[in-house]
Amino acid sequence: MSSEKSNPKPLYRDINADDEDPEVMEIESYCVNCEQNGQTRLFLTKIPFFKEVVVSSFTCDNCGFHDTGLQPGRKIQEKGVKFVCNIKNVKDLNRQIVQTNYATVSIPKLEFEVPPNKGALTTVEGVIQSAMDGLAQDQPVRKIMHPDDAAKIDVFIEKLSELKEMKEPFEVILDDPSGNSFIENPYAPNVDQEMTIHYYVRSKEQDEQLGLLEQEETQPEPEKVEEKKEDNPIFDGKSEVASFKTNCPNCNVPCDTNMKLVDIPHFKEVVIMATVCDACGHKDNEVKGGSGIEPKGTKITLKITDPTDMSRDVLKSDTASMAIPELDFCAEMGTLGGRFTTLEGLLENIKEHLSDSNPFFKGDSSDKEKANKIEMFCQEIQKIISGERLGDHFVLDDPAGNSYLQNTYAPDADPEMTVEQYERNYEQNEDLGLNDMKTENYEAS
């Protein structure tokens, strides 16, 4: 009994052929079609290169009604996300789409938009087919009652059908203010040249839609907070460690997260948060910049010439992207979150993220071509870690200027490392939420 408690199963399970008894919860539920009871099945799983989700399936044996849905397994993200994807061939129609109930899917070519509805795990083709089915559902009645409208809808359904047949390329846009939707990158771990991802600061209306403003409005007034501070000792972030309760992201058991302000030599102050779960042994850390966004972005390029380079300290903020040009590898902003580790630790995290945590690349039903590609890439990463492969470049690009790679020659210049500061472009400022930020005469607004 004690061994089971010390090693509980993860709350979100991988999907693979070796799991003969997956954790599927069954709940007796009300059927909205026949008003009798049916069965809802819930499965908590992980989406490759994305995050945890809850997949639900309802079936009623009385009337045959069937329905599926999807909910994000994580909290609402700090920023919204917008995917713009070019669909150029039949394979692109098979791209998986994770669509939460806050997400909007649009096809600008047809001026067509699917408003937020229920969450779904589908494909680009599935989105088009669902739209066709929805429009065709009431066509027999519409042709009698409103023949002109029915004729226009038939024309539009034909246009959607042409998209499925890939008679010409088109663009799909997935916009989710909760930040929990996703379009698959079939070229992973390489960059998807046909897709761009934008992170943005939500508007007040979007916060209201997500139910976030109520929490902000119920916070104590500034005057009351100041009075409370006078009664309590002042917390010193540099010499003390703050601790607060959270739930383990692996097994969901309550655990402690420690937070401390750390001054990194030859860099700046950062906030490090570390979580260790006593129940399952899961460890995680997250890093936040302690001094806000820098005036310029920073791009750090290290040429790996010696196995000792693996011991260099790395501070990767959650706004930084990573690249290894020789392997055609690039991880977009937000991948792996904020990390304070070594270069070896970061490369191991990349390996784990690409291989171990991707259940769709395991088992008999996996895509062998993709699985082999990922496996070969992970082998090359391992060669870099072990020192068998030297001369590659590791690039850390942070438009917020909050990332750092240790200079082992400090305070002298590092001959194998270049640090470039650059002016951010409009898109980078948009991702950081700076374009709409008013810093002058803001009291007048």
Per-residue pLDDT of the chain (445 residues; tens, 9 = 90+): 444 444 455 555 554 444 455 567 788 888 888 888 888 887 776 655 445 667 778 889 888 888 876 665 566 777 888 999 999 999 999 998 888 888 999 999 999 998 888 777 789 999 999 899 888 888 888 888 888 999 999 999 999 999 999 989 999 999 999 888 888 888 877 778 889 888 888 888 888 888 776 544 444 555 544 444 445 555 555 567 778 788 776 677 788 888 877 766 656 677 778 888 887 777 777 776 656 788 899 999 999 999 999 999 998 888 888 999 999 888 888 777 778 889 999 999 888 877 654 444 554 445 677 778 888 888 999 999 999 999 999 999 999 888 889 998 888 899 999 999 999 988 888 888 787 765 565 555 4
Q: What is the pLDDT of residue 5?
A: 43
CATH 3.40.50.1980 given to domain 80-210: no
By the 10 Å C-beta count (0-12 exposed, 13-18 middle, 19+ buried), 16 is classed as middle
Q: Which residues contact 111 (CB under 8 A, 6 or more apart)?
A: none
Q: What is the pLDDT of residue 50?
A: 47
Evaluate whether 236-291 and 297-433 have a shared fold. no
Q: What is the pLDDT of residue 317?
A: 85
Element (H, E) at 423: none
Alpha carbons 255 and 269: distance in angstroms, whole number: 26
Closest by alpha carbon to 408, among 313, 317, 299, 322? 313
Closest by alpha carbon to 188, among 383, 45, 367, 386? 367
For 350, the token pair is: 């990349």
Q: What is the pLDDT of residue 266?
A: 57
Class of CATH domain 10-72:
mainly beta
Assess contact for 207 and 144: CB atoms under 8 A.
Answer: no
Assess contact for 115 and 130: CB atoms under 8 A.
Answer: no
Q: Which of 3.90.1150.10, 2.60.120.1040, 1.10.10.10, 2.60.40.10 would CATH assign to domain 297-433? A: 2.60.120.1040
Q: Which residues contact 263 (CB under 8 A, 6 or more apart)?
A: 238, 269
Assess contact for 35 and 12: CB atoms under 8 A.
Answer: no
Assess contact for 51 and 74: CB atoms under 8 A.
Answer: yes
Q: What is the pLDDT of residue 16?
A: 47
Q: What is the pLDDT of residue 214?
A: 54
Look up the CATH number of domain 236-291: 2.20.25.420
Q: What is the pTM of this model?
A: 0.56
Element (H, E) at 348: helix 343-351
For 18, the token pair is: 């070796």
Q: Which residues contact 391 (CB under 8 A, 6 or more apart)?
A: 303, 304, 305, 326
3-state secondary structure of 331: strand
Alpha carbons 442 and 86: distance in angstroms, whole number: 39
The structural domains of the chain, with segments of one domain joined by +, span 10-72, 80-210, 236-291, 297-433
Alpha carbons 390 and 207: distance in angstroms, whole number: 48
Q: What is the pLDDT of residue 230?
A: 47
